[in-house]
Amino acid sequence: MSSDPLTAWDAEGLLFENCSCQLVCPAHISFKQHCTYDRCRGHWCFHFEGGHFGSTSLGGLNIVIVFDSPQRMYDGGWTEAIYIDERADEAQRLAIETIFKGKAGGPWEILAAFVATWLPTRFVPIRFVDEGREKRMWIEELFETSVKTLRAKDDRGEVRLENLFNQIHGDTHVLARGTTRCRDGALEIDNDGTHGLYSKFSWAVD
Neighbours of 90 (CB within 10 A): 8
Burial class, 131, CB count within 10 angstroms (exposed 0-12 / middle 13-18 / buried 19+): exposed
3-state secondary structure of 97: helix
**pLDDT tens, the chain, 206 aa long:** 335 678 999 999 999 999 999 999 999 999 999 999 999 999 999 999 999 999 999 999 999 999 999 999 999 999 999 999 999 999 999 999 999 999 999 999 999 999 999 999 999 999 999 999 999 999 999 999 999 999 998 877 899 999 999 999 999 999 999 999 999 888 999 999 999 999 999 999 99
Total count of domains within the chain: 1
Domain that holds residue 141: 9-198
Does residue 3 form part of some domain? no
3-state secondary structure of 53: strand
Q: What is the pLDDT of residue 1?
A: 35
Q: What is the pLDDT of residue 5?
A: 77
Burial class, 156, CB count within 10 angstroms (exposed 0-12 / middle 13-18 / buried 19+): exposed
**Residue 90 — φ and ψ, nearest 5°?**
-60, -45
Residue 99 contacts residue 107 (beta carbons within 8 Å) = no
Does residue 133 form part of some domain? yes
Q: What is the pLDDT of residue 3?
A: 53
Does residue 4 form part of some domain? no
Residue 41 contacts residue 83 (beta carbons within 8 Å) = no
Q: What is the pLDDT of residue 153?
A: 87
Does residue 92 form part of some domain? yes
Does residue 1 form part of some domain? no
Does residue 173 form part of some domain? yes
Q: What is the pLDDT of residue 157?
A: 85
Does residue 203 form part of some domain? no
Does residue 76 form part of some domain? yes
Instruction: Please give the helix or strand (H or E) that residue 65 lies within, else none.
Output: strand 62-72
Q: How many helices (H) and strands (E) does the chain have?
A: 3, 13
Q: Radius of gyration over alpha carbons of the chain, in Å?
A: 16
29: left (phi over 0), alpha (psi -120 to 50) or beta: alpha
